Amino acid sequence: MEIFLQQIVNGLVVGSVYALVALGYTMVYGILGLINFAHGDLVMVGALTALQTMMFLMGVAPGMSPIAMLTLSLLVAIPVCMLLAFTMERLAYRPLRNAPRLAPLITAIGVSFLLQTLAMIIWGRNYHTFPQLISTTPLQPIEGVFITPIQITIIIVSALMMAGLVLLVTKTKLGRAMRATAENHRVAALMGVDTNMIIALTFVLGAALAAVAGVMFASNYGIAHYGMGFMPGLKAFTAAVLGGIGNLGGAMLGGIVLGLVESFGAGYIEHLTFGFLNSSYQDIFAFMILGLVLIFKPTGLLGERVSDRA
Amino acid sequence: MNELALAVPWLGKRNPLAARWLVIAIAIGAPIVAMMFGRTWVRVLDFALLYILLALGLNLVVGFAGLLDLGYIAFYAVGAYTAAFLASPHFDVHLPIWIVLPLAACFAATAGITLGFPVLRLRGDYLAIVTLGFGEIVRIFMNNLNYPINITNGPQGINSLDPIMLFGWDLSRNIQVTEDLAINSLFLYYYFFLACVVGSIIFIQRLQISRVGRAWAAMRDDELAAKAIGINTRNMKLLAFSLGATFGGVSGVLFGTFQGFVSPESFSLMESIAVLTMVVFGGMGNVAGAIVGAIILSALPEILRHLAVPVQNALFGHVLLDPEVLRMLLLSLAMILMMLLRPSGLIPANAKYSHIRYLKAKGVTE
pLDDT in tens, chain B (366 residues): 566 777 777 777 778 888 888 889 989 988 888 888 888 899 999 999 999 999 999 999 998 988 889 999 999 999 999 999 998 888 888 888 889 999 999 999 999 998 888 887 776 778 888 898 899 899 988 988 887 788 888 888 898 888 888 877 777 777 777 777 777 888 888 999 999 999 999 999 899 889 999 999 999 888 899 999 999 999 999 999 999 999 999 999 999 999 988 999 889 888 999 999 999 998 888 888 899 999 999 998 888 888 877 887 788 777 777 888 888 899 999 999 998 998 888 888 765 545 455 555 555 543
**Burial level of A60, CB count in 10 A (0-12/13-18/19+)?**
exposed
How far is the C-alpha of B95 from the C-alpha of B88, rounded, in Å?
9
Q: What integer pLDDT is reported at residue B360 of this predicted model?
A: 55
On whether residue B33 sits in a domain, the answer given is: no
**How does pLDDT run across A10-46, given as a tens digit for each residue?**
999 999 999 999 999 999 988 888 889 899 999 999 9
Across the interface, do A280 and B140 touch by the CB < 8 Å criterion? yes
How far is the C-alpha of A136 from the C-alpha of B279, rounded, in Å?
48
Size of chain B, expressed as the number of residues it contains: 366
Amino acid at B273: I
Q: What integer pLDDT is reported at residue A287 of this predicted model?
A: 87
**Burial level of B336, CB count in 10 A (0-12/13-18/19+)?**
buried
Partners of residue A294 in chain B, C-beta under 8 Å: 119, 122, 126, 130
Nearest neighbour of A107 by CB, restricted to B126, B132, B340: B340
On whether residue B13 sits in a domain, the answer given is: no
- E-only strand ranges, chain A: 128-129, 139-142, 145-147, 223-224
Q: What φ, ψ does residue B93 adopt, rounded to 5°? A: -110, 135
On whether residue B336 sits in a domain, the answer given is: yes
Q: What integer pLDDT is reported at residue B352 of this predicted model?
A: 52
Give chain B's largest Cα–Cα span. Answer: 68
Å between A47 CA and nearest CA of chain B: 21
On whether residue B23 sits in a domain, the answer given is: no
Å between A121 CA and nearest CA of chain B: 7
Question: Could you write out the DSSP letters of every residue in A256-286?
Answer: HHHHHHHHHHHHHHHHHTTTSS-GGGTTHHH
Across the interface, do A121 and B70 touch by the CB < 8 Å criterion? no
Partners of residue A99 in chain B, C-beta under 8 Å: 339, 343
Q: What integer pLDDT is reported at residue B332 of this predicted model?
A: 93
Across the interface, do B134 and A295 touch by the CB < 8 Å criterion? no
Q: What integer pLDDT is reported at residue A16 of this predicted model?
A: 94
Q: What integer pLDDT is reported at residue B246 of this predicted model?
A: 95
Mean pLDDT of chain A: 89
Å between B324 CA and nearest CA of chain A: 10
Asked if B237 and B121 count as a contact pair (C-beta separation under 8 A), the reply is no
- With b for 16 or more beta-carbon neighbours within 10 A and e for fewer, the A118-143 pattern comes to bbbbebeeeebebbbbbeeeeeeeee
Partners of residue A113 in chain B, C-beta under 8 Å: 270, 273, 328, 331-332, 335
Nearest neighbour of A117 by CB, restricted to B133, B328, B334: B328
**How does pLDDT run across A77-121, given as a tens digit for each residue?**
999 999 999 999 999 999 998 887 788 888 999 999 999 999 999
Å between A288 CA and nearest CA of chain B: 8
Q: What integer pLDDT is reported at residue B306 of this predicted model?
A: 83
Bridge partners (DSSP) of residue B158 are B262
Residue to test with chain A: of B69, B114, B125, most A Cβ within 10 A: B125
CB distance from B319 to chain A under 8 Å?
Answer: no
Judging by DSSP bridges, how do beta strands B93-94 and A145-147 pair with one another? unpaired
Cβ-proximal residues to B102 (8 Å cutoff; 6+ apart), any chain:
none
Across the interface, do B125 and A109 touch by the CB < 8 Å criterion? no
Judging by DSSP bridges, how do beta strands B175-176 and B169-170 pair with one another? unpaired
Across the interface, do A310 and B143 touch by the CB < 8 Å criterion? no
On whether residue B49 sits in a domain, the answer given is: yes
Cβ-proximal residues to A250 (8 Å cutoff; 6+ apart), any chain:
A26, A240, A242, A243, A244, A300, A301, A302, A303
How far is the C-alpha of B161 from the C-alpha of B159, rounded, in Å?
6
Across the interface, do A114 and B122 touch by the CB < 8 Å criterion? no
Domain total in chain B: 1
Residue to test with chain A: of B119, B129, B328, most A Cβ within 10 A: B129
CB distance from A295 to chain B under 8 Å?
Answer: yes
Cβ-proximal residues to B331 (8 Å cutoff; 6+ apart), any chain:
A113, B273, B274, B277, B297
Amino acid at B172: S
Size of chain A, expressed as the number of residues it contains: 310
**How does pLDDT run across A249-273, given as a tens digit for each residue?**
899 999 999 999 999 888 887 777 7
CB distance from A124 to chain B under 8 Å?
Answer: no
**A53 confidence band (pLDDT: 50, 70, 90):** very high
**Burial level of A299, CB count in 10 A (0-12/13-18/19+)?**
middle
Chain B residues 125-184 within an 8 A CB cutoff of chain A: 125-130, 132-134, 136-137, 140, 143-144, 147-148
Residue to test with chain B: of A97, A111, A113, A262, most B Cβ within 10 A: A113
How far is the C-alpha of A37 from the C-alpha of A113, rounded, in Å?
9
On whether residue B20 sits in a domain, the answer given is: no
Asked if B104 and B229 count as a contact pair (C-beta separation under 8 A), the reply is no
CB distance from B58 to chain A under 8 Å?
Answer: no
Domain containing B224 equals 38-361
Across the interface, do B129 and A35 touch by the CB < 8 Å criterion? yes
Nearest neighbour of A113 by CB, restricted to B127, B280, B328: B328
CATH number at residue B159: 1.10.3470
Q: What integer pLDDT is reported at residue B8 of this predicted model?
A: 75
**A310 confidence band (pLDDT: 50, 70, 90):** very low
Q: What integer pLDDT is reported at residue B362 of this predicted model?
A: 57
Across the interface, do B137 and A284 touch by the CB < 8 Å criterion? yes
Alpha helices in chain B (DSSP H): 2-6, 11-14, 16-37, 39-59, 73-86, 97-116, 124-144, 185-208, 211-221, 223-228, 233-259, 269-282, 287-316, 323-341, 355-361
Nearest neighbour of A113 by CB, restricted to B133, B280, B331: B331
CB distance from A256 to chain B under 8 Å?
Answer: no
Comparing alpha-carbon positions, the chain A residue that sits nearest to B141 is A281
> Is the sign of the CA dihedral B123, A107, B112, B74 positive or negative?
negative
Side-chain-side CA neighbours of residue A138 (13 Å): 11
On whether residue B26 sits in a domain, the answer given is: no
Across the interface, do A294 and B119 touch by the CB < 8 Å criterion? yes
On whether residue B141 sits in a domain, the answer given is: yes
Residue to test with chain A: of B136, B339, B355, most A Cβ within 10 A: B339
Comparing alpha-carbon positions, the chain A residue that sits nearest to B274 is A110
How far is the C-alpha of B321 from the C-alpha of B302, rounded, in Å?
14
CB distance from A284 to chain B under 8 Å?
Answer: yes
